[in-house]
Structure 1
Amino acid sequence: MEHTETKRELIIKEASRMMYERGTGVGVDTLVSEIGVAKMTLYKHFPTKTDLIVACLEHMDDCHRARLSGEIDWTSSPRDRLLSVFDSLRVWFATPSFRGCAFVNATVELADTSRPVRNAVHEHKNTMRAWVIKLVEECGLPNTQFVASQIAQLMEGATTTALLERDPVAADIAQATALQVLDKAKESKMSESKMSSRSP
């Protein structure tokens, strides 16, 4: 049965697009005018602008994770699955609408960030970190938390660099560095295994 988009879903989807393109400072009058809803309808679903921003961040979190999974061949090896995350980033960086990380943008734009917005940002970052940790764990590498932190920082750095330089190649550079990180972790695992085998 086909899902019919509700007014609330329509507002979140369109407001998310507008806030990502123009920033969280886009005015309520502009939102209702371009989305095509009454101001009363907007406030019925979102009593405050903060409520709307949080809902939009949660929506963008879902979209971002779906985007990153888009280029992954889940039948490939764990190592290839992890590296293909950077292929997903490259595709995203090359889109005309790319404007960097929505969550970093929101934090910068809202200098006096409210607790609900901070929580939404932290929840996104924690969820992404957990996702990367899972991918690293599937590779069977040691020091999972540390390796995952390295990969996550490469993803963050590539996103910022691609925004500043308007060049999708930032994803390729990050991917090459991620490969070095994985190789180093694999070497460490092999060394530990050899040491263990020599122990009496």
Structure 2
Amino acid sequence: MRKLIIPILALTLVTACKKNPEKPVPNVIDSMAQAKEKNIEEAAQKKKTDEVAVKAANDQILQALKSKDYKTFASYIHPEKGITFSMYGFVDPKEDRHFSKEDFEKYQPTKTVFSWGAQDGSGDPYKATINDYLSKWVFSKDFTTSHYSLNTFQGKGNSLNNLKEIYPGKDFTENFIKGTEENGKMDWKTLRFVFEEFQGKQYLVAVVSDQWTI
């Protein structure tokens, strides 16, 4: 009889424990809440730090383009993914000019002419050296005086803008110069930089120029 009583008693205790689990004591609940708040604050702080880093990189790249300091510009090209240049807001990975960091540094000082894409309206290929493309097309206006935004489009024309589809989840900056009244504000221009963090630094993976197209 005693052999039966002991298993039955043990089973009763186990069942009772399952039906009445211990509730977390208040100090445990408070600790969990505090930990959650800390994680939220750290995530917010990290995002803020990323925004600061992207803005700093954006401004330094603009200054490098303005002063034609292409060595500094090249230092921001992604070491593994290289950089792609798009002449207009519609990004075409198959047609847009792409360079590895090594190739950019190799050809930038030379007079080698590249085809960068088809010009709007005529459809004629736009051919230029790296230096001419950067100075005459990319930095066709002084974008150091432009209006800055992060992950938000300001320049909106009549052509398709697919940047977010081609570079999903990537941070991008926009440096926008609004159009003039005498031209119906249609002579606006904007310069977008797409960034990706690598080993703690913000690098360029794309430079997208955009303007009103015919």
Q: TM-score range by the shorter chain?
A: under 0.3
Normalized per residue, which structure has more strand? Answer: 2
Normalized per residue, which structure has more helix? Answer: 1
Q: Is the radius of gyration larger for structure 1 or structure 2?
A: 2
TM-score, structure 2 as length reference: 0.23
TM-score, structure 1 as length reference: 0.24
